[in-house]
Amino acid sequence: MSAMTSVAPPGHGRRGYPLLAAGPPFLAAVVIAAVSAAVWSRLPERVATRLSGGEPDGFAHPAVLVGMAIAVPAIWAGVSAWLARTATLSARALYAVSLSSTVALGYLFTALLLANAAADRAADVRFPLWHLAVAAGGALLAAALAPVLPSREPAPGGPGSDTSPRTSTLGLRPGERVVWQRTVHSWPLTGLQAALVVSAVFTAVSGSGPGAWGALLATAVLLSLMTRVRVNAGTAGLFIRPALLGVPRLGVPLERIRSVEVRHTSPLKDLGGWGYRISAGRRGFAVRSGEALWVRQTNDKWFVVVVDDAHTAAALLGDLLARRAGRKG
- pTM equals 0.55
Lowest mean pLDDT among 114-118, 286-290, 315-319: 286-290
Of 321, 273, 274, the closest CA to residue 295 belongs to: 321
Position 260 scores a pLDDT of 92
Average pLDDT, the chain: 80
For 244, residues 6+ apart whose C-beta sits below 8 A from its C-beta are 224, 227, 228
Average pLDDT over residues 85-112: 81
Distances (CA, A) of 217 to 126, 188, 227: 30, 17, 15
Number of C-beta neighbours around residue 125 at 10 A: 22
Position 9 scores a pLDDT of 37
Position 220 scores a pLDDT of 81
pLDDT at 127 over 50: yes
Longest dimension (CA), the chain: 86
Position 153 scores a pLDDT of 58
3-state secondary structure of 329: coil
Task: Read off the pLDDT of residues 196-230 as tens digits, 9 standing for 90 and up.
Answer: 776 777 666 655 667 777 887 888 888 878 888 99
List, as one string, the DSSP characters of 80-128.
HHHHHHHS---HHHHHHHHHHHHHHHHHHHHHHHHHHHH-SSGGG----
List, as one string, the DSSP characters of 160-203.
TS--S---S---PPTT----EEEEEE-HHHHHHHHHHHHHHHHH
Task: Read off the pLDDT of residues 253-299 as tens digits, 9 standing for 90 and up.
Answer: 999 999 999 999 888 888 888 888 888 889 999 988 889 999 999 99
Residue 250 near residue 284, CB atoms below 8 Å: no
Position 209 scores a pLDDT of 66
Cis peptide upstream of residue 248 (ω within 30 degrees of 0): yes
Position 31 scores a pLDDT of 92
Residue 237 near residue 257, CB atoms below 8 Å: yes
How much of the chain exceeds pLDDT 70, in percent?
82
Distances (CA, A) of 315 to 22, 82, 99, 253, 260: 38, 30, 43, 16, 8
